[in-house]
Amino acid sequence: MKYVLITGGVVSGLGKGVTASSIGVVLQACGLRVTSIKIDPYLNTDAGTMSPFEHGEVFVLDDGGEVDLDLGNYERFLDVTLTKDNNITTGKIYQSVLDKERKGDYLGKTVQVVPHITDAIKDWIESVAVIPVDGKEGHADVCVIELGGTVGDIESMPFIEALRQLSFSVGPDNFCLIHVSLIPVLGVVGEQKTKPTQHSVRELRALGLTPHLLACRSAQPLLDNTKVKLSQFCHVEAANILNIHDVPNIWHIPLLLRNQNAHHSILKQLNLLSIATPPDLEAWNRRAETFDNLTDSVKIAMVGKYVGLTDSYLSVVKALLHACIACSLKPSIDWIAASDLEDDTARSAPEAHAAAWKSLRNAECVLVPGGFGDRGVCGMILAAKYARKNNVPYLGICLGMQISVIEYARSVLGLEKANSREFDEDTPDPVVIFMPEGSRTHMGSTMRLGSRRTLFQNPDCVTSKLYCNPHYVDERHRHRYEVNPNVIGVLEEAGLKFVGKDETGKRMEVLELPGHPFYVGVQFHPEFKSRPGKPSALFLGLILSARRKLEAYLTRHQMEVDLQFNFNTSASVLRAAFSANVCSYLFRLLRNYIISQLKLRKDIKLSYWSSDPTGTREGIFPYIRKLTWGNDTFESYGIDIRKRGI
């Protein structure tokens, strides 16, 4: 295993996560398999109980891990599926060591930071690095490790020592250290200052780690004399000094690294030049240029609790970006503090109240994301009511779905005191209740977390069509309250339809309002699985509806069929883009055709999955697992007709 360690110096918030992700992208573009690990030196076991104002959003993984938002960057950039063990915290390490001590695993020895804590860190890194995260068998070629915080932080010291020992044990050809530092410019002088970076590198070297590359953050490109000075005083070759200056969007960062031959320096240090290929970043280049050239924008009202820090909704923002680019639009997000929409604010801060309502009325669509607690709930209810009554496209996520249920119960059913048990434990009309399996005494890791299956109840619903009509979809969850099953009947009689449920059929997952351009609430968090070039279906639906293009898109998506399947001497082509309304028929037709060919040609062999292994296409078969004819072979974990081809 090869390791690339990313450390930071001078100040926090330099973008180590984006830098680490971009380095992973460049290495992937060279034909290497990449995994990643984020080290957070705080004592919390995970990020689940942290305030979004203090630490940004909590990113949720398939396995239910509540982790740092940087792991979201890794998943989006590298298109991988990480585990909770890919996020190492001081709390996890100390907990594992203390558990061993209580079991007597240390045989009476005095348990110390060195060697027991440092050994636990090394063991954790080495065991997680070999876990496949890209859906393929075997471990990755390179593990990118990001050490949170800055060099010199007292809480980072055990990790620095463990990483020093790791670099020695794996050898110089298997370890590359990249130090991210700041090159400030003083307003008075206008000179790029290298002294902070010099001191940061000196401190890092004093701890036993010498950087092989420097990644220098600056507002403007580094001057040549600045690079010479850094090389001279930081003991780093000038060719290994990278400049990550400000760019229009973060998709330029992998291109920036590629253009400075960062991949060559890293591959040379890791002795991988012989097996790597020239980096192919054409898709990233197109994506970056497309975004830069967009002129038309769509106005989105984001009504939430934590709008004071945009990182609180980082994945939602990224999902909106992915969907907007797919529609050739730029997102123009109006951040509306939910409490500013409330009547109390009209009395205490009338200007803020008026500005909030002006933004809401000017929006082309409304999004209410997840959250906890009763602050701002009344404002969210008002936003949901406005969107429902004025036919403004609306997407409610987690709390946003529960808000829409409360609003509908109050406005349509006439239950004026309808509420969630989370906000009013004594409400006479609890339309949202605490889940029975939850814990009221322990907050950490006690929610319904991770990837869960939602079964669609109606194939003609908008949500199912956006997901290309599967029988089910797997999305990530993070909640401890749910829509009360006892009120589903009266809500549906009044017009609100619950078109997605869990596997028991008792937990509501998706709601829609028939007759509305787009009024959708989901209990899960679709933003966590959105990727560049592969936007979340629901976010795409929201943006399309905002521009009144959803119906045309769904119609075209259902009717667009282009299928060609040819068994010639040794070639086959399958191109398809069609809805599941015809999927089953076409795939059965394809299967029958292959079977008929088997009787005529002895060189055709076929094996297929009995059900969809990718979790997106249950009921459509065959899912081709392996197909060989002549000298050609096609293998797949399952065909996703939107993304794959033979």
CB-count burial class (<10 Å; 0-12, 13-18, 19+) for 570: exposed
Backbone angles phi, psi at 101, to 5 degrees: -65, -40
Structure tokens at 245: 């200056």
Residue 425 is a catalytic residue: no
At residue 406's C-alpha, the angle toward residues 402 and 407, to 5°, is 115
527 included as an active-site residue:
yes
Catalytic position from the list 146, 407, 512, 527? 527
Least Cα distance to 496 among 422, 424, 388 occurs for 388
CB 240 within 8 A of CB 227: no
CB atoms within 10 A of CB 71: 26
Catalytic residue among 234, 398, 461, 468: 398
Phi, then psi, of 331 in degrees rounded to 5: -75, 130
| Helix, coil or strand: residue 102 | helix
Q: What residue has token string 């969850």? A: 477
What CA–CA distance (Å, rounded) separates 189 from 171? Answer: 44
Cα diameter, the chain: 83
Nearest CA to 145 out of 7, 240, 341 is that of 7
Instruction: Answer yes or no: 199 catalytic.
Output: no
Among residues 60, 31, 38, the alpha carbon closest in space to that of 140 is found at: 31
Alpha-carbon distance 180 to 195, whole Å?
Answer: 14
User: Is 548:364 a contact under the CB 8 Å cutoff?
Assistant: no
Q: Which of 422, 512, 525, 583 is catalytic?
A: 525
Are 612 and 638 spatial neighbours (Cβ–Cβ below 8 Å)?
Answer: yes
The residues near 154 (Cβ < 8 Å, ≥ 6 apart) are none
One-letter identity of residue 644: R
Q: Helix, strand or coil for residue 204?
A: helix
Q: Which residues are catalytic?
A: 398, 525, 527
